Amino acid sequence: MSVQPMKHPGLRILIDGPDFEGQWSESVADALAALGHEVTLLLRGGRNPGGRLLLAWQRWRHGQADFEASARLGRERLRAQLDRERFDLLLSLQGPLDARWLQAARRVQPGLRVWYWIGASIGLSPFPISRTPRLVDRFLVSSRGIQLLLREQGARDVVYLPFAVCRRRHVARQPDAFQSSRYRCEVSLVGTAYPERAEAIEYLNRRLSQPVRVWGRGWRRHPRLRAGPPLPMARAMRVHASSRIALNPHHPQTRGGLNMRFFEIPAAGGFQITNDQALLDELPFGSLVARYGSLPELHEQVDYFLRNAAERDRRAHQIREQMLGEHTWERRLAPLFDDWEAHNLIDRRETSDH
């Protein structure tokens, strides 16, 4: 089913989002534009040469470490955009906002609403704005655990918003013969390295006839594993589509959420095996998702689905159909604006919180 644009006039939305291979920011911007909003997207980070040059200049100018320089640069660019244009909503995807910056921004645009989205699921410490939650009109979180933590901090409006499928970026054409031959493998993993993932891959490699093919950041710390570089979204989708099995182990500190890859792999036409997550049982298709709770179970699942192609394909098809029908970004985001007119702005007197 398609999602109809909103009945009331579209809003002017400024999105402050990270620039990384997963294209979270771009996917959200696409969906909001499709819903009828006027969207301006500011990307943070250094994937492009211009971004890297600006960051290097910022480090030199202020004598700061990478993270501090990047945060300062992000805040300066956002403030400059607010000085140039008026917006109804600032949607920050894990941006470097803090209380001082937000207070100054609201003096420039008193009617600006601010929504802050925490997609990560491993804690609040990287997000300074979480220490003064009443300065934010609405928090969006992709983890039930983070939702609970924010409420304990005093946040009043915290909406659980899982990740989703972007039809434009995730639903790619099937790879051609050359692409398939380049990425074809029995088992793959596209993602950042951390010890638990490395342990799982080494465990499988000792038991499978072909080693797991790996792409992503941080794998040089695991010299026993051969890995390719991080992949742009389009290539990652080709890997998922060309693999018999795509592994998707969630971070061990995940607090009640499903990662982006959980939605990307089926949308690309791939079949995933993931570690057991409680939220899977809440999904209509949760029983179709192959999962494991230990390394021996992981090997059993991989071995079984490598030998049973028909069942693997059936499950992948059924999961994909449900995701494309019910779990798109448009369907996720549209209900957030249903109460826009009735939803009161936060009490601006509280912008003096510290």
335 or 179, which is more confident = 335
Residue intervals in the chain for CATH 3.40.50.2300: 12-164+330-352
pLDDT at 349 over 70: no
Residue with structure tokens 């970004």? 329
Residues 105 and 79: beta-carbon distance below 8 Å: yes
Where does the chain show beta strands of DSSP type E? Answer: 12-18, 38-44, 89-93, 113-118, 138-141, 158-160, 185-190, 213-215, 227-228, 243-248, 272-275, 290-292
- On the 0-12 / 13-18 / 19+ scale of CB atoms within 10 A, 78 is buried
Listed residue (328, 349, 317) closest to 110, CA to CA: 349
Helices (H), 206-308: 233-242, 260-267, 295-307
Architecture of the domain whose range is 167-327? 3-Layer(aba) Sandwich (3.40)
Rounded to whole angstroms, the Cα distance separating 13 from 5 reads 15
Number of DSSP helices (H) and strands (E) in the chain, helices first: 13, 12
- Separation between Cα atoms, residue 204 and residue 202, nearest integer Å: 5
DSSP state of 15: E
Check whether 2 has a pLDDT greater than 70. Answer: no
The pLDDT tens digits for 125-160 are 889 999 999 999 999 999 999 999 999 999 999 999
Two tokens at 3?
A: 């999602």
What is the pLDDT, as a whole number, of residue 122? 77
Give the domain 12-164+330-352 fold.
Rossmann fold (3.40.50)
Residues of the chain with CATH 3.40.50.2000: 167-327
Give residue-wise pLDDT tens across range 160-183.
Answer: 999 999 998 998 666 676 666 788
Whether the CB-CB separation of 11 and 338 falls below 8 Å is answered with no
Instruction: Look at residue 175 in the predicted model and tell me its pLDDT.
Output: 66
**What is the rounded average pLDDT of the residues 323-344?**
90
